[in-house]
Every structure is written in C-alpha cells, then in structure tokens.
Structure 1
Amino acid sequence: MSEQPISRYPVPDVMELPEDMRDLILGVQEKAGFIPNVFLALAHRPDELRAFFNYHDAIMLREDSKLTKAEKEMIIVATSSDNNCLYCVVAHGALLRIYSKQPLLADQLATNHNKADITPRQKAMIDFALKVSNDAGSIGDADYENLKSHGFDEEDIWDIGAITAFFGLSNRMANLTSMRPNDQFYTMGR
C-alpha cells in the first residue's frame, strides 16, 4: 500500500467525526473492506461531506432512473477523464468494470470514448455529458432531439446532466485536494 498522503488537507480521525458521518464511513468500510479516500479527504469539512453524499445518493441511487449503474459510471469515467481527475477515473473505473463486466471499458472511455466498445446510444450519452461538462451554455433543442432519437427521455437527459455536473464538482475537489485513489481500486474488476 502507498505511503503517500491521500489529501493535501488534514484528514480527521473517523471516530471524531459527527455520528452520522462516522456511521456512513464505517458502513462503507464494512461493505467494501476499505474506506474510499474520498470519504476521508472530504471529511476535512464534515458538513460539506454530508451534503456531498446526500446529493450523490439522490442522483446515483434514484430508484426511477432508467440509466443503468454501468451507464452512470460510463458518464463519470468519461467526464472525469476529460477533467483530468485521477481519483474519479480510477475509483469509478473500478465500479464500471464491476457493473459492466467489461474489464477493458473503463480504460477505453478514459482514453477516447469515440474508440470505446460502446453502442451508438451510449456514445450519444457520453457526447452529451461532455458537452454539459465543457460547453453547457450551447446546449439546445438539437441536443435533446439527438438524445431522444436514441431512446432517452427528458428525465434521462436530466440524469445525464446532473451526474455530469455533480462529478464536475467532485473532479474539481479531488484535484484541489490532491486526492489520491486507494490502491485497491486499480485492480478491482480486472
């Protein structure tokens, strides 16, 4: 395991965090077998950590979303790569490999989604996510019509945009804090 710091900011002792955040982090540790560094790095400000994960769960665990877990992770990996976010590419690449059961897909999307083994529908989704990430001010009716021609509806389009926007924040915080990916993520799903 790496001896490198996981953040340029102080990381609090989990047992000294507010009870709800401590329980969240320990629950994740029990389920995953380790604590993803995002929890530890963002615990530097517990109120912001709480808000971050409340919004994360609202968009990523939304029960009536028609996007699959793998499609959500595809959006995250492609846009995180575009934002040069090592933490999110590595961590969400691991989740994508697990959910998609395609060990090459995360690396393909992180490098060039135009060459990735994805469907035309998924390419349209990623193209739109990258537009949200890089040029949201230019989104117009043609973008919605293109997505609808691939079977997405208005709520799906909201999901794509919300995931992209949220992880834009996450990418920037990970880069700001020099958040280091857990070593475990590199080999998961391979």
Structure 2
Amino acid sequence: MPHIAVEEHLPGITGLLEFRKDTAQPIRELTQILLRGTSTLTEGERELIATVVSNGNNCKFCTAAHTAAADLFLGESETAGMVKTDIAAAPVSEKMKTLLTIADSVRESGKLVTTTHIEKAKAEGATDLEIHDTVLIAALFCLYNRYVDGLGTALPADPGYFDVLAERLINNGYMRLPQGYDHLKK
C-alpha cells in the first residue's frame, strides 16, 4: 500500500507523477529528452540503461516497465533479460557493454565510475555525449527508483499492465497523456 494517497488505478510512477504534476513536468521533460530525443544510442539501448539501473536498485515496478519497453524496441526479450543478469554475456555491442557497466557503477555511486571505465568506453567508440547521457540516465533512474520505492507505490495486480505501459511509452513517450489517465480506471 502506498505511503501517500495516490489514485489506485495508477500503480508505480504514474500515480506519483499525477499526485504532483508541477514537479512531474520537469522530470518528465528530462526523461523524454534522454530516452526519446535525438541520440546516437537507440531508444532500445537507452531503455536497457534504465533496465540495468532499475534492476540493480531492486525496483520491481521500474524494472518491469523498462524491460517491457526495451523488449518492444528491440523486438525480442533475450537482451533485456541478459543485461539484468550478466552484462558481459549480453548480446549487445562491446560499446554498449561498457556503457551499461558505467550505468551500473553510477547506480552504486557516481564515484565508482573510473577513468578506466571511460577509456574502455571510448576505445569501443563511445562518444562524450553517449557517456554523458548514460551517466545522466543512470542518475535519473536512481531518482525514479527511489521515488517509486520510497513512497511504497503499488505494483499492478495484472502483470500484463507492463505490456500496455510499454506500448504507451513507445507510442507517447514520457510526457503526460494530453487526456490524462482517467481512461485507465476500471
């Protein structure tokens, strides 16, 4: 049960973002820029970063949501599953492995990102912008994970919710739906 009164039909982050729309707006905008904006990293790769961080933080809601979104973007479910258990063995590029490793380090502490991490990423072709955005996505998802878990948000009763949420994230991005979320009430 959530620690504060949020709309019951909006589990996880959505209920919190609806609770306080004024604070939600800037983080929604930042998320939209980082995960859906112009980038040399694909949307699927950026969702993998969110997945690795959320999984490492044991945030069940965010892990399920971003795994489902990554799966849809990638058109398969093996990769997201693998990055959660063994980045080194995952079927992603060597560059992506280095970026996911950086993201996982940021999750623990930004101070764990070393010059060696950065040199390896650059040696695999990562640009300064890709490294920057990886660190910022990782930091942003630490915020989201702590927000979701710190307020004790509920998981949806139906696991199929995450497939619907992933479709919404792919089709509408991270901004609030113009019509709101009342249509999700049962």
Query: Do both share a fold (TM > 0.5)?
Result: yes
Instruction: Structure 2: state its 5+ residue gaps.
Output: 167-186
What does residue range 57-68 of structure 1 map to in structure 2 within 5 Å?
57-63=32-38, 65-68=39-42
Change (3 A) 1:180 1:111: farther
Structure 1: state its 5+ residue gaps. Answer: 14-33
Instruction: Output the CA distance in 1 between the equivalents of 2:30 and 2:149.
Output: 20
State the identity %. 22
| Cross-structure match for 1:80 | 54
Aligned to 1:169: 143
SS at match of 2:19: coil
Call closer, same or farther: CA 1:141–1:48 in 2, change over 3 Å. same
- Pairing partner for 1:9 from 1, 4, 12: 4
Match of 1:21 in 2: none
Task: State which drifts further: 93-102 or 143-152.
Answer: 143-152
Q: C-alpha displacement at 1:55, in angstroms?
A: 1.7
Q: Does 1:109 align with 2:87?
A: no
Alpha-carbon displacement from aligned partner over 1:69-100 (angstroms, at most 9, x marks no partner): 11101111111111111011100010011001
1:84-99 to 2 correspondences below 5 Å: 84-99=58-73
Q: Contact between 1:89 and 1:110, CA under 8 Å: does it hold in 2? A: no
TM-score, normalisation: structure 2: 0.77
Change (3 A) 1:44 1:154: same
Q: What do the CA deviations read for 1:84-125 (whole angstroms, capped 9, x no partner)?
A: 110111000100110011222222222332333333222111
Partner of 1:155: 129
Deviates more, 1:134-143 or 1:54-63: 134-143
Cα distance, 1:52 vs. partner? 1.9
In 2: Cα distance, 1:138 partner to 1:91 partner: 26
Residue correspondence of structure 1 range 35-54 to structure 2 within 5 A? 37-54=12-29
Q: Distance in 1 between matches of 2:88 and 2:52?
A: 10
Once residues 104 and 157 of structure 1 are traced to their aligned partners in structure 2, the CA distance between those partners, rounded to angstroms, is 24
Query: 1:109, 1:116 within 8 Å by CA — same for their partners in 2?
Result: yes
| Native 8 Å contact 2:11 2:154 kept in 1 | no
C-alpha contact (below 8 Å) 1:114/1:123 kept by paired residues: yes
Superposed CA RMSD in Å reads 2.4
Change (3 A) 1:114 1:178: farther
Counterpart residue type for residue 37 of structure 2: R
Please state whether the residue corresponding to 2:76 is helix, strand or coil.
Answer: coil
TM-score in terms of structure 1 length: 0.75
Match of 2:160 in 1: 184
Native 8 Å contact 1:73 1:92 kept in 2: yes
Question: 2-side partners of 1:66 and 1:181: how far apart?
Answer: 33
Which residue of structure 1 aligns with residue 99 of structure 2?
Answer: 125
